[in-house]
Amino acid sequence: MTGVRSRVDLRTDGAAALDWAAQYLERVGEFPVLAQVKPGEIRERLPDSPPEEPEPFSAVLRDLDEVLLPGITHWQHPRAFAYFSVSSSEPGILAELLAATLNSVAFLWRTSPASTELEGVVLDWVAQLLGLPSGWHGHIEDTASTSRLAALIAARTATGRDLVLCSEQAHSSVEKATRMLGMRMRSVPTDGEFRMRPDALGDLSDAAAIVATVGTTASTAVDPVPAIADACEAAGAWLHVDAAYAGAAMVCPEHRWAFEGVERADSLVFNPHKWMLTPMDCSLLWSRRPEVLRRAFGVVPEYLRTPDAEDALSLSEYGPALGRRFRSLKLWAVLRCYGASGLREHIRRGVEFASMFEGWVAEDPDWELCAPRHFSVVCFRLKGDDERNRELLARVNAGGDIFISHAVLDGRYVLRLAVGQMHTSEEDVRLAWEVLRRESVGL
Ligand SMILES: Cc1ncc(COP(=O)(O)O)c(C=O)c1O
């Protein structure tokens, strides 16, 4: 082969990198979950300028261990309980390597027919697994934030209006998207269980879209989608459903109640990179009105023109990005290597562990539960004031045994334990409870 070559040999250095990955996953539970470094500390250890001469890959691996690893917050750790627990599973890891090897740039059907068509297939597969209607058009974006941006642009295109409504518990990416788009946002109050109150939607004559969340970020509340769908229909507004986290739970029939009414959505987002064993990043956006997305995003300059039959399949015409990664490969690998049964088992483990933890909190008179638990997230706090809980959170996270995060619900500071990491065992959840109780002493 000609051309500029690095000194890297894919077989020998690749074997070393895979060995590094395997060893990392074997020992990840030994690290402090939250990186114990100060801002700027990692940067200080890195050279100011790039090397003039080529270095071997072994130097990169060495610095990964010696320089970067102390600055890694370990999301693959069995006791990573903060925000939403995510997992990059072995099939996903290997498929990412292969996707980088192929380096497809799937902006037109012809630039990557396999990537484009596999993307359609895995979106149909996942729709089946979650009980979504057949026939929806789906494609993959990087994150739910981008999927949301796309959905709201479609809503504006369809309605010619600029007002977006969502509950006060909706993810901040709604506000961010409306700000970027110059649209207006109105927060709708929630009920005692943090669900949107459809009776408080108010005047919808300017409404472009209502965003309903199935599994809110703070407490995993489920908005009443059927009533919100009624309101959208009456007002001619777009219904966007955000199931970024809780969508994964729909692989289990016992959780399908939470998807009641979603078949009436104009668009729906779900992130396999949250609770479905798929490496960052992978956000699925379905729509039953793909022609609107295409109207909004289908800018085709001369150099991208191809015969019509191909054009209709170019996924870059359905979202903001032109260049698109081969993200479907990792999702396909996950779906095939776990099967529906493996995915259900993963979800059920997370829910069972969360339910166990919820039981311990409920039984202890020094602690209280702060929201209904629907899936794998428990919102709780030490009885007493916000300051006590803030201090407790700082203590437990500084210790490094566990990593949890917080939210504000009903104006109160609450702690969140989010289960879902594929390495988490019952012992890890027990340890989390032990650490919390130990660190609460003397507060
Ligand atoms: C309900 C919900 N929607 C959207 C998002 C944003 O996800 P992303 O990081 O993929 O943009 C989050 C993030 O946690 C979320 O909880």
pLDDT tens, residue by residue, 393-417: 999 999 999 999 999 999 999 999 9
Q: 171 CB less than 6 Å from ligand 1? A: yes
> Which pLDDT does position 247 carry in this prediction?
98
> Which pLDDT does position 313 carry in this prediction?
84
Q: Specify whether the CB–CB gap between 5 and 48 falls below 8 A.
A: no
> Which pLDDT does position 306 carry in this prediction?
86
pLDDT exceeds cutoff 60 at 1: no
For ligand 1, what atom is nearest to the CA of residue 243? 1
308 alpha carbon to ligand 1 midpoint, in Å? 35
> Which pLDDT does position 75 carry in this prediction?
98
419 alpha carbon to ligand 1 midpoint, in Å? 16
Please list the residues that pair with 37 across neighbouring strands.
none
Q: Residue 300's pLDDT band (boundaries 50, 70, 90)?
A: confident
Backbone angles phi, psi at 322, to 5 degrees: -90, -65
Longest dimension (CA), the chain: 72
245 alpha carbon to ligand 1 midpoint, in Å? 7
CB atoms inside a 10 Å sphere around CB 44: 9
**Which two structure tokens, joined as six digits, stand for 254?**
């016992």
Q: Is 257 exposed, middle or buried (0-12, 13-18, 19+ CB in 10 A)?
A: exposed
Q: Residue 5's pLDDT band (boundaries 50, 70, 90)?
A: confident
Q: 212 CB less than 6 Å from ligand 1? A: no
Please list the residues that pair with 212 across neighbouring strands.
241
> Which pLDDT does position 178 carry in this prediction?
98
Nearest residue (by CA) to ligand 1, atom 15, is 217
376 alpha carbon to ligand 1 midpoint, in Å? 16
DSSP letter (8 states) at residue 285: E
Q: 143 CB less than 6 Å from ligand 1? A: yes
Nearest to 400 by CA among 82, 88, 84, 89: 82
pTM for the full predicted model = 0.96
